[in-house]
Chain A
Amino acid sequence: EIVLTQSPGTLSLSPGERATLSCRASQSVSSSYLAWYQQKPGQAPRLLIYGASSRATGIPDRFSGSGSGTDFTLTISRLEPEDFAVYYCQQYGSSRYTFGQGTKLEIK
């Protein structure tokens, strides 16, 4: 089973700053099957990125995804107040989904 490790666990930044979130897989993941989600308190997760770098419908272009193999990155170019949330990476393989443990993005 592929394990996804996200870092850092918590990221403290200010609005307007750039955020870089990392997701590392225990073995190689197909880029087609790497996604990112945002979750705010009391809400369901929302799909941000699929296929490692494709933005989901309605997602602002300040969100971008990159990476391949075992290392993937979610970048938020300029943080807006509504971007402070928990972010999860997810991979799909062997007909099952695996999620990382999450990165909490908090206001500094």
Chain B
Amino acid sequence: EVQLVESGGGLVKPGGSLRLSCAASGFTFSSYSMNWVRQAPGKGLEWVSSISSSSSYIYYADSVKGRFTISRDNAKNSLYLQMNSLRAEDTAVYYCASNPSFWSGYLDYWGQGTLVTVSS
């Protein structure tokens, strides 16, 4: 059974940093592209970042470029999101999601999410 479990969320002050993790199991993690998608309270879904299976391709939404860094450790079956210079508008539930190939165009498995709250 595919499982994606996010962790690392919490309350942080504006300008602060946070590192999210996503632990994967039940599939060959090193063969899958991975993504972060967020959802502000009561709002819709917003794609944040994608990383290919070997980390060769990395893309970011304009709203987080230069502040967030996606990475992965295939030996540990883990995905990460380093978030710096956090703003109130970054407050959201952050989901990790997989896709079978970098160009498949859809997200097949999702974790349950971790809440990030940016507030003073």
Q: Please give the residue numbers on chain A whose beta carbons come within 8 Å of chain B beta carbons, in ascending order.
A: 30, 32-35, 37, 39, 43-47, 50-51, 56-57, 88, 90-92, 95-102
B61 within 8 A of partner (CB): yes
* One of B8-16, B24-32, B80-88, B102-110 at the interface: B102-110
Give the shortest distance, in Å, between B13 (CB) and chain A (any CB).
27
Closest Cβ neighbor of A88 among chain B residues: B45
- CB pair A33–B47 under 8 Å, yes or no, is no
- CB pair A44–B44 under 8 Å, yes or no, is no
Which B65-106 residues have C-beta < 8 A from chain A? 95, 104-106
Given A95-B57, A95-B59, are A44 and B107 neighbors across the interface (CB < 8 Å)?
no
Give the shortest distance, in Å, between B25 (CB) and chain A (any CB).
16
Give the shortest distance, in Å, between B101 (CB) and chain A (any CB).
11
- B interface residues, tally (CB under 8 Å): 21
Given A92-B106, A99-B44, 9 more A-B residue pairs with CB atoms under 8 Å apart are A44-B110, A45-B37, A45-B107, A47-B106, A47-B107, A88-B45, A91-B105, A95-B59, A97-B35
Give the shortest distance, in Å, between A56 (CB) and chain B (any CB).
7
Q: Complex formed: what's the CA distance from A56 to B18 in Å?
A: 33
B24-57 interface code vs A (CB 8 A; 1 in, 0 out): 0000000000010100000011110010000001
- CB pair B44–A102 under 8 Å, yes or no, is yes
- CB pair A96–B61 under 8 Å, yes or no, is yes
- CB pair B106–A90 under 8 Å, yes or no, is yes
Q: Complex formed: what's the CA distance from A34 to B107 in Å?
A: 11
Closest Cβ neighbor of B46 among chain A residues: A99
